[in-house]
Amino acid sequence: MVAVCAVIAAFNEEAHVAAVVTGTRRHVAEVVVVDDGSTDATAARARGAGATVLAHARNRGKGCAVRTGLSYVLERPFSHVLLLDGDLQHDPAEIPALIAQAERGIGDFVLGEREFTRQAMPAARFYSNVIGSRVLSRFIGADVADSQSGFRLIRTDRLRQVELTGTGYEIETEMLIKLVRAGARVERVSVRRLQYEGARSKIRPFRDTFRTCMLAVYYRYLS
């Protein structure tokens, strides 16, 4: 039996965050939204949808927001933390698939992997994900097809074994490398591809992918 707390890092997501919180609350014990210095109504709408809201006074980056949320969760008796984005690019209806995998498998690290097809997503996003995943698979010694997916379920006792320092999107790479090095087993669940129409990503594909690959070397060999 898993006891799950969801953490949603959000920056200026007033249009979507309430729907993400509402959908997520159906499947987990608690939803925590970390408002990363938003200048809109993100915090109010998340709170109105039933989330616990932790707020940064200024925008500090996704990694900082995720770490704030994890600090909250790891002080409480949850068995797992669920991470997902606040812009509806991850479908909360698919959360039970990740939880079910954790219950029937090892449950250390369940990664929601999207299907990548060139026709279904912007070229920059497609190639950055493919390249980043191939590089990371080499570093961790495991086949990972979607290393940059923020849709993941992780055992809290595994997270307590590592120190995370990432401030931006590289936190997702850092988690994978450090948790695998600490002995965590990665399990993969296929999830529906993102719906890109009308959703503007905050990721800078080539710049962020290059930075992530360089940091992967650091996390693997130097940290």
For residue 154, the domain's CATH number is 3.90.550.10
Q: Which amino acid is at 208?
A: D
pLDDT at 205: 52
Q: At what angle do helices 171-181 and 123-140 cross, to 10 degrees?
A: 20
What is the total count of domains within the chain? 1
Q: What is the pLDDT of residue 151?
A: 96
| pLDDT over 80 at 141, yes or no | no
Contact between 113 and 187 under an 8 Å Cβ cutoff? The reply is no
Tallying the residues shown for the chain, one arrives at 223
Confidence of residue 198 (pLDDT cuts 50, 70, 90): very low
Grade residue 222 by pLDDT with cuts at 50, 70 and 90: low
CB-based contact 184:155 (threshold 8 Å): yes
Mean pLDDT of 97-108: 93
Banded pLDDT at 207 (limits 50, 70, 90): low
pLDDT per residue over 81-92, tens digit each? 999 999 998 999
Give the structural domain span for 191: 4-221
List pLDDT tens digits, range 21-38: 999 999 999 999 999 999
Over range 102-129, report the average pLDDT: 71
What's the rounded Cα separation, in Å, for the pair 142 and 113? 14
**The pLDDT value given to residue 118:** 47
Tell me what pLDDT residue 177 has: 86
Neighbouring-strand partners of residue 206: none
Q: What percent of the chain has pLDDT over 70?
A: 71
SS3 97: helix
Which is more confidently placed, 55 or 208? 55
| Predicted confidence band of residue 195 (pLDDT cuts 50, 70, 90) | low
More confident residue, 128 or 68: 68
- Residue bearing the bigger pLDDT, 160 or 217: 160
Please write the tens of the pLDDT for every residue from 152-182: 999 999 999 999 999 988 898 889 889 988 9
59-78 per-position pLDDT tens digit: 999 999 999 999 999 999 99
